[in-house]
A and B are shown apart, each in its own frame.
Chain A
């Protein structure tokens, strides 16, 4: 599209980003508010952060969430990568349509249904609900996202690279490990990041599949929020937002730097 960037465009961009970011900004600012009222400014204070770190229930919940997210993201990325390989490379096999249906369906499935159905499964087979059921539930839905992310990159993968590796003496398995995986690494990393944040974020599915003793951070936040707005939640939100923002910005900075470096190298090599 040609660039005739008018005042109209500038206005809609500005308003759009104000709409997207102002609520988050207000949330962050008022986490440093002295007063218990989150909407009236009463001076700067970090006391809510201090209070937060003394609240053991929150710390426990954070620990549970982190463990669930780390474990489920890792397993989901492995399973999702396998699923992507199956979808892109395995060719035809019996039940292929069902398979790709099962990959795509969870993406559009309402969380309440996914949560309910998994809970009913766990009840039916009589597993005690808690940490493990939440983890398994998270693996199940986030592996589908991981599969989509990895497969969208794998579609454009040049298979002649693998053929070259095989030609030079690798078995198919070796060429996958030595050639395909390293090239797919950025996609696999972003799949892991996505699975991790999805798990970190999930309230509905965790609420269904958790049992006594396993409360995740979103569940804790939710039960607090239902009671009303508190500066403690603002402080917690600020921490979460900073961590995620920092992570995403670093990741994108690293990929962009690698990209610029590659381009510069190509330019040097070309001259």
Chain B
């Protein structure tokens, strides 16, 4: 095997795999989103038939339309799903930041011989099943669950709180599941912070709290931004958490897509939902990419 063909194979194998199984499927999604639902296998029309030749292709093209997209605009359910996904993702990100920042801060301040262990403890839940971790919260948030038992035992409440099957449960689930994604970038930003900067700020007249707001906080910004994107982006398309913890009035786009696909078997509509979701995600993804590049630039 000479060098050139070796290089060609090296690049070619992963390229081909991803092209066939990642890129091509998107075009298929796009195409099906322009098709109509049909009672057939597969359940959409038109299907692409290579045997029909050029005229078949023309006929195929003329069968495509934007009906599904118009439907997305006309039916309140879809717009509400997108908006509610954005809202839930936004607030969960905010809560995750509020919960994650003190943890990351304390980790960065902890004695250096503890830090590998603390880091390990943050990452460990990430390795255990996502589904199981969400499931664990059902037992806690149920009307007769641990949280209600605990609060009633303390005498704070007399009646069990209805938390499961509400948006609150979804927030808790998202914050819990994605907390490591928030803590890790925050920790790496805070850990890099030079202690002499804080001493310099104190030397120049800052109390410890002022030094935090004027030095630590602005310098941890790259970590904050990275952590927020890492929570926000996957939270938008989340399915398992709203499905298991949320109620029937908790609508998120991942759940809507799932229902259209599995319950209604409306594949073209589900594809259209996916295409719009993707377009919606491009904005934060591109912003995130840019921020990462800038952060890398600043490291140099």
Q: Give the interface of A toward B (CB within 8 A).
A: 1-6, 8-10, 12-13, 16-17, 19-21, 23-24, 26-27, 30, 37-40, 79-80, 82-83, 85-86, 90, 93, 95, 98-99, 102-106, 108-113, 116-118, 120-121, 123-124, 136-137, 139-140, 143-144, 147, 172-173, 197, 200-201, 203-204, 207-208, 218, 221-222, 225-226, 229, 233, 237, 240-241, 244-245, 248, 252, 256
Contacts and interface: CB of A to CB of B under 8 A. Distances in A.
B139 A26 contact: yes
A4 B22 contact: no
The 10 closest A-B pairs by CB, nearest first: A110-B237, A2-B195, A117-B25, A12-B102, A9-B106, A16-B103, A23-B136, A83-B14, A102-B18, A121-B25
Interface string B251-267: 00010011001100001
Nearest to B191: A1
Contact of A204 (B3, B127, B195, B239): B239
A75 B194 CA distance: 42
B236 A86 contact: no
Nearest to A83: B14
Interface of B: 3, 6-7, 10-11, 13-15, 17-19, 21-26, 28-29, 32, 42, 48, 99, 102-103, 105-112, 116, 118, 120-122, 124-125, 127-133, 135-140, 142, 144-146, 149, 176, 179, 183, 190-191, 193-195, 198-199, 233-234, 236-240, 244, 254, 257-258, 261-262, 267, 270-271, 274, 277-278, 281, 285, 288-289
B112 A201 contact: no
B28 A39 contact: no
Given A113-B278, A117-B29, A23 B176 contact: yes
Contacts of B267: 120
A198 to B, nearest CB: 10
B127 A9 contact: no
A180 B84 CA distance: 49
A38 to B, nearest CB: 5
A252 B120 CA distance: 9
B110 A19 contact: no
Nearest to A24: B136
A116 B106 contact: no
B109 A4 contact: yes
Nearest to A252: B120
B109 A3 contact: yes
Given A116-B274, A201-B130, A229-B138, A19 B237 contact: no
A5 B109 contact: yes
Contact of A203 (B121, B133, B240): B240
B19 to A, nearest CB: 7
Nearest to B121: A17
A13 B128 CA distance: 20
A27 B136 contact: yes
A61 B197 CA distance: 55
A-side interface mostly: helix
A240 B285 contact: no
Nearest to A259: B116
Contacts of A3: 109-112
Contacts, number: 234
Given A24-B136, A26-B139, A229-B135, 7 more contacts: A12-B103, A23-B140, A30-B139, A79-B14, A90-B11, A203-B131, A204-B240
Contacts of A93: 11
Given A111-B239, A120-B32, A140-B21, A237 B254 contact: no
Contacts of A172: 3
A221 B28 contact: no
B277 to A, nearest CB: 6
Contact of B257 (A95, A116, A137, A241): A116
13 contacts: A1-B191, A17-B121, A23-B140, A39-B142, A110-B234, A113-B29, A116-B274, A120-B29, A124-B48, A173-B6, A222-B131, A233-B135, A237-B132
Contacts of B137: 23
A25 to B, nearest CB: 9
A225 B258 CA distance: 17
B131 A241 contact: no
Contacts of A116: 29, 257, 261, 270-271, 274
B110 A5 contact: yes
A229 B281 CA distance: 34
A127 to B, nearest CB: 12
Nearest to A82: B14
Given A110-B234, A222-B131, A105 B22 contact: yes
Contacts of A117: 25-26, 28-29, 274
B13 A82 contact: yes
B128 A12 contact: no
Contacts of B133: 23-24
A16 B102 CA distance: 8
A190 B137 CA distance: 29
A171 to B, nearest CB: 9
